[in-house]
Amino acid sequence: MSTKDTTVPETMRSVTCRGIRDYPHHGDTLVPMPGPGEVLLRVEHAGICAGDAKCFAGAPLFWGDSTRPAYVQAPVTPGHEFAGHIAAVGAGVTAYAVGNRVTAEQVVACGTCLYCRKGLRWLCAPHDIYGFHSCVPGAMAEYMILPSKSLLHRVPSSLTPKEAVYIEPLSCGVHAVERGNPQPGDTVVVSGCGPIGLGILSVARAASPGRLIALDCSEERLALARTCGADTVLNVATLGADAAVAAVRALTDGGYGTDVYIEASGAGASVQQGLRMVRKAATFVEFSVFAKPVTVDWSVIGDTLELDLRGAHCSGDGGYARAVEMLAGGGVPAEVIVSHELPLDEVVRGIDLVNGGGGTEASCKVALDPALRG
Ligand SMILES: [Zn+2]
Ligand SMILES: [Zn+2]
């Protein structure tokens, strides 16, 4: 026996990822009913991730190539950044009730694989991320199911919809900074001031760095980076790589280079440039997804610099809780980071904006609001 809000309709609007550049919008999708242990969420906002935009454009990471299988299982409803109110609960759900405002971690961990057993659930082997695998349809719909293994987090009513939809990107920032492990007084460089980079800056600010430096090619984004706590912002497009490297080194103690470099731009040049900005025994964190392989002189990692090279993926163990806490504390400018709220039927326009908008319109985090009518 499930309990549901009496206003839940029979059908809803939703978006389907059917293939590369094929994301139709439907007006008559059946609203799913929660089974035992499941929750039906009425989606408030669904964020469009750079990953969604790369998937739309056909990146091999999602659609496979000669070295790897496809990750996305089309057709599927996209969307892993979301918050909403519980509209119905399935049998056996006792921790949550209709009306509760929640979000859920993007990876629905299996609980039994090697990584889950090691406490690394965000690396879970089956890796069911909402909106990519068909067993976990995502948030670009009026309603979505949160399966019984889904890890829910309560969202305080004080958070605006823009703040709530920013929980997922900020939680990724929490984990990236955790991997960088900056010490008080360290110089920290964050390359790329998109929604994740801005989250990384906000979290890094709280780690009391000696100097927090933001790099990007857009003046609008660098202005946002200042709002997120960057002490120094450098436009690598106008400076050029050599001058940007020299500028960063000149800002560090003795000119040795930065203690921590966090790469969140998705541009290969940012990796090459970062390897020239770090001091010996620095920590280089890679968060981005790249459209194509990046080439670097790998001997720099060991022989020249003895770097700590660390990857960061998704939100780690405590990312969601910390992100909710930071947003509730009011120190993160999510109201400006979320630049667009669009109806579901403008999903393709939203993705185009995330992919650069043809240079005609600036954007940062683009969110879909299923309650809006296009
Ligand atoms: Zn995301
Ligand atoms: Zn697992």
Cα-to-centroid distance, 317 and ligand 2 (Å) = 13
Query: What would the pLDDT profile of 133-174 be if each residue is shown by its tens digit?
Result: 999 999 999 999 999 999 999 999 999 999 999 999 999 999
Question: Which amino acid does the sequence have at 337?
Answer: I
Number of domains in the chain: 2
Residue 16 sits in a domain whose CATH number is 3.90.180.10
CA of 51 to the centre of ligand 2 (A): 21
Asked if the structure places residue 239 within a domain, the reply is: yes
The residue type found at 191 is S
Residues 32 and 126 in one domain: yes
What local confidence, expressed as pLDDT, does residue 26 receive? Answer: 94
Ligand 1 mean position to 113 CA, how many Å? 23
- 327 domain residue, yes or no: no
**Considering the domain boundaries, does residue 356 fall inside one?**
yes
User: What is the tens place of the pLDDT at every residue in 55-91?
Assistant: 999 988 899 999 889 999 999 999 999 999 999 999 9
- Which-ligand-closest: CA of 131? 1
pLDDT of residue 356 exceeding 90? no
Average pLDDT, whole number, for the chain?
A: 96
Q: Find the 66 Cα to ligand 2 centroid distance in Å.
A: 26
Å from CA of 34 to ligand 1 middle: 25
Closest-lying ligand to the alpha carbon of 196? 1
Strands (E), 90-198: 101-104, 107-108, 128-129, 143-146, 152-154, 187-191
Same domain, 301 and 344: no
Which whole number is the average pLDDT over 288-301?
90
Within this chain, do residues 272 and 341 fall inside the same structural domain, yes or no?
Answer: no
Q: Give the ligand whose atoms come closest to the C-alpha of residue 151.
A: 2
Dist. CA 117 → ligand 2 center (Å): 7
CA distance 183 to 284: 14
Over residues 114-137, the mean pLDDT reads 98
Nearest alpha-carbon partner for 167 in 234, 83, 233: 83
Span 249-278, mean pLDDT? 97
pLDDT cut 70: percent of the chain above it: 99
Q: How far is the CA of 352 from the centre of ligand 2 (A)?
A: 33
Mean pLDDT of 233-252: 97
| Ligand whose nearest atom lies closest to the CA of 315 | 1
How much is the average pLDDT of 109-118?
98
Q: Kindly state whether residue 325 falls inside one of the protein's structural domains.
A: no
User: How sure is the predictor about 289, in pLDDT bands with cuts at 50, 70 and 90?
Assistant: confident
**Longest Cα pair distance anywhere in the chain, in angstroms?**
68
Same domain, 158 and 50: yes
pLDDT, average across residues 176-199: 97
β partners of residue 262: 190, 285
Domain that holds residue 141: 3-166+332-368
CA of 149 to the centre of ligand 2 (A): 10
> CB 35: neighbour CB atoms within 10 A?
13
> Are residues 202 and 92 part of one domain?
no
Q: Determine the pLDDT at residue 360.
A: 76
| Backbone dihedral angles phi then psi of residue 102, each to the nearest 5 degrees | -145, 165
The verdict on 55 and 195 lying in the same domain is no
Ligand nearest to the CA of 112: 2
3-state secondary structure of 336: helix
Residue 254 and residue 107 share a domain: no
- 128 and 232: one domain? no
pTM beyond cutoff 0.85: yes
Whether 203 and 138 map to the same domain: the answer is no
pLDDT higher than threshold 90 for residue 251: yes
CA of 164 to the centre of ligand 1 (A): 13
CATH of the domain at 187: 3.40.50.720
Same domain as 41, residue 139: yes
Same domain, 143 and 55: yes
CB hemisphere CA count around 235 (13 angstroms): 11
